[in-house]
Amino acid sequence: MSSSRLGLRLAVCLLNISEARRKYIVENVAKAALLKKNGQKHPEVSVLNVFSDQGYNRSVITIAASVAELGNSVLAACLEAFQSIDMEVQEGIHPCLGAVDLIPIYPLSGVGVEECGAVARSIGASPYVMNCNVTIDSQDLALGKEIASAIRGSNVNGLKGVQTMAFPHEGKIEIACNVESFEDQEVTETSEGSQYMAYSVLGDHFYYVSPHYIEAQVKKLASDQGIGIKGRALIGFTPQECKNCAEYAIKEGIGEFWKIRRGIFM
């Protein structure tokens, strides 16, 4: 079912918070996004996914909502995070500016990019981003930084829209990638095995570098140094997966969708 048939214009926010080791705090932040000021549930809001990494002590909470409700929902979650997380004593490897960091927001369908952007700016957000992390079988941070630099989109031969950093993680080095969407009239080949994947919002076409391609590039660069990779982690959803989950969850009135999604869309 499309968003237009739901009668709603849907958008999604990825809320990053500086907490993963105290599960009750993470869940309280997620649940805060679902409640109005009077304590009643938002009928047009669902938390699609909660991903926590105890090593980084960071969590990513995926909030889907109608455009009319998204701003208030995200602000409620942010307020809960600020009240619950004391950055003076908080520990974690991944850099963060505060209890809440990096709030990308992007349209699904039924809402134009410009309108969604206006909502995003009202809560200090940035465009759509997907997190794709590849772990190399090494403890050499300098090597990890070299690989991250080689695929970074700001470099001449890097991957477009990909921002990268290297971190120690669970005894190995993780190449952490933020994968941003972009518009490019020259992109023609889009498939699971190609460099780019595509999706559309109200006729506007967007592209992003395939997670498989990112993994393949990291694997090649690591192999050139005589090491392998341990695996890849995709944090959250691809755009189409996100759209499908959001439409289903809001249609069915499932606010805490993250608790049941593995039994529906896996």
The alpha-helical segments, DSSP class H, found in the chain are 3-6, 23-32, 67-84, 113-122, 141-151, 211-224, 239-252
Looking at CATH, the fold of the domain delimited by 129-235 is given as: Alpha-Beta Plaits (3.30.70)
**Residue 226 phi, psi (nearest 5):** 80, 20
Task: Give CA–CA dist 208/203, Å, rounded.
Answer: 16
Q: Which CATH class is domain 10-124?
A: alpha beta
Short-list 165, 132, 131, 134, CA closest to 229: 134
Give the pLDDT of the chain (266 residues) as one tens digit per residue.
Answer: 334 445 678 888 888 899 999 999 999 999 999 998 888 898 899 999 999 998 889 899 999 999 888 888 988 999 999 999 887 777 766 655 556 665 556 656 555 555 554 444 445 445 567 889 999 999 999 999 999 999 999 998 899 999 999 999 999 999 999 898 888 766 655 555 578 888 877 677 888 999 999 999 999 999 999 999 999 988 878 888 888 899 999 999 999 999 987 666 54
Question: 189: which 2 tokens?
Answer: 């080949």
CB distance 128 to 179 below 8 Å: no
Which distant-in-sequence residues (6+ apart) come within 8 Å of 94 by Cβ? 53, 56, 57, 58, 167, 176
- In the chain, CATH 3.30.990.10 sits at 10-124
- In the chain, CATH 3.30.70.670 sits at 129-235
Task: Fill in the DSSP letter of residue 35.
Answer: B
